Amino acid sequence: MAPVKSVCFIGAGFVGGPSGAVLALKNPDVEVSVVDLSETRIAAWNSDALPIYEPGLLPVVKEARDAEVRPQNLFFTTDVKGTIKRADIVFICVNTPTKTAGIGAGKAPNMAYFESATRMIAAEAESDTIIVEKSTVPCRTAANMREILKAVGKPGVNFEILSNPEFLAEGTAVADLMKPDRILIGSMQTPSGLEAAEVLANLYGSWVPKENILKTNIWSSELAKLAANALLAQRISSINALSAICEATGADVGEIAYAAGLDSRIGSRMLQASVGFGGSCFRKDVLNLSYMAETLHLPEVAAYWQSVVAINEWQKSRFTKRVISTLYGTLTGKKIAVYGFSYKKNTADTRESAAISVVKDLIAEQAKVCIYDPQVTKAQIWEELDINGCHLADVEKFVTIAQNPYDCASESHAVIVLTEWDEFSNKDVVPAKKNAGENPQQLLPSPVASEHNSDNEMDMTPADKSARERYNPKTAVKHAEAQNAKVDWEQIFDIMERPAFVFDGRRVIDAGKLQRLGFRVECIGRGNPF
């Protein structure tokens, strides 16, 4: 094949935007265009107020986009059709949300956006084109794509389909893209399919070591993404299930995780107990896998994966019940400070955040809830509470949103930590050592690793108003690269009601330090040892 001159990413979301930016940065001779039908989103990508919060992303975008250091080769545009016509490779990075109606509702993926993108490529491509599945799709999606491309494509135009799932995580996306654990490329095992895979591998080869680029058949690659997210979610649900046993017996789930993680067959990653996983992927992909098992007449397998999600929902509910019981069985009229609303730190993404469920439960108990998050805006919090089973008019009676942790905690009966933002932690920072075995704390799973969510695509369909508004710069990014000061917990104690409670849903609190200040501390996975 001829050298690649032009690459197109369809969908300017969490996958398409950062992936396109890094590919452009590392391949200065290739024109990389990220396209989307949302004018608001594209305008944000062409500004310094990017539509998503991702540490380190802005410098990458500016270097490839602004032609200040080198010739420009990164473009953000709404000209979807024109860009497809020029492209040698087209990456599909659109959303595949869970169906809300019809057969498979609540489990099966809605492939409407993906099919729409496939049809547009087929209709607009004027020369042989490699199409790359970046979106998370069911196994054997490529077979459906081939039928559409054959029926809609122009005579004489040939297509090769590759699967290249993204394994980046929100909050560490740039680092994940710069130094990926692996690049997975699936293709048909035909001469033309293998050649297309080699073309894509060469693009990645400009910065990724050859041994980190894995080539498989296309069906394995499609399924590998679902499998990876399902296994990660399973691991979190497993440690969360153990956290309940620890609370009932006086054991400490952190010590359990450390001891188990020393076993080389298990490892220490992703063993951070919490109030529950969130984000756009884990729940969606596990349910997708469960539904796939159902359609393949594997009910036991379907039930197994369904249980991973069930444990996660139970963990959130269990945490709220612990808050209620500890606060003497009633929350009516009591102010509860909620620290954190994003599903994890270093992102403004609130999709499927555990905080949504917890806040809804607190509202149901008629608590006065005050929320503080260093990155999530008021508009986004109101939107999430409005679309997740609560009427906004009712929510506003019980919920306020603070601009700092002190206003949030003032006159509150309890502080609940639901996101592991660094500013909330009072733990001592231990310098990393080359040999982690010299420092047991270094082997404990970090909060960042607790939810390695990947595949956060955004759709390119303007009809999806909520998604479009949620990730524009006016509603999503609060402080571009904010590094807020640590919370002064002594000051927090002084302004709270007595007794002052802290409920640590992310295990970022040194309970002993707070107890010496006078707090009563309840932590996920830690019971009374006496």
Which residues belong to the annotated binding site?
Answer: 11-16, 36, 41, 94-98, 135-136, 170, 281-284, 351
Total residues found in the chain within this entry: 530
Burial 478-491 (b: 16+ CB within 10 A, else e): beeeeeeeebebee
- The structure tokens 């499609």 sit at 222
Instruction: Work out the burial of residue 318: count CB atoms within 10 Å of its CB; fewer than 13 is exposed, 13-18 middle, 19 or more buried.
Output: middle
d(CA 87, CA 79): 12
What DSSP string runs through 147-207?
Answer: HHHHHHSPTT--EEEEE------TTSHHHHHHS-S-EEEEE-SSHHHHHHHHHHHHHHTTT
Strands of the sheet with 159-163, listed across from one edge: 74-77, 31-35, 6-10, 89-92, 129-133, 159-163, 183-187, 213-217
d(CA 424, CA 248): 26
Where residue 220 falls (left for φ over 0; alpha for ψ -120 to 50; beta otherwise) is alpha
Look up residue 346 and give its two tokens: 């270093």
d(CA 148, CA 169): 31
Contact 412, 228 (CB under 8 A): no
Burial 99-110 (b: 16+ CB within 10 A, else e): beeeebeebbbb
d(CA 438, CA 454): 32
Look up residue 226 and give its two tokens: 């679902």
| Cis ω for the linkage preceding 499 (within 30 of 0) | yes
Give the annotated binding-site residues for NAD(+): 11-16, 36, 41, 94-98, 135-136, 170, 281-284, 351
- The structure tokens 């506003």 sit at 396
d(CA 356, CA 342): 9
Annotated active-site positions, please? 281
φ/ψ of 386, rounded to 5, equals: -75, -35
The Cβ of residue 504 has, within 10 Å, a number of other Cβ atoms equal to 26
Contact 440, 150 (CB under 8 A): no
Where residue 497 falls (left for φ over 0; alpha for ψ -120 to 50; beta otherwise) is beta
d(CA 197, CA 194): 5
d(CA 165, CA 58): 23
d(CA 60, CA 76): 14
Q: CB under 8 Å to 298, separation ≥6 — which residues?
A: none
Contact 429, 439 (CB under 8 A): no
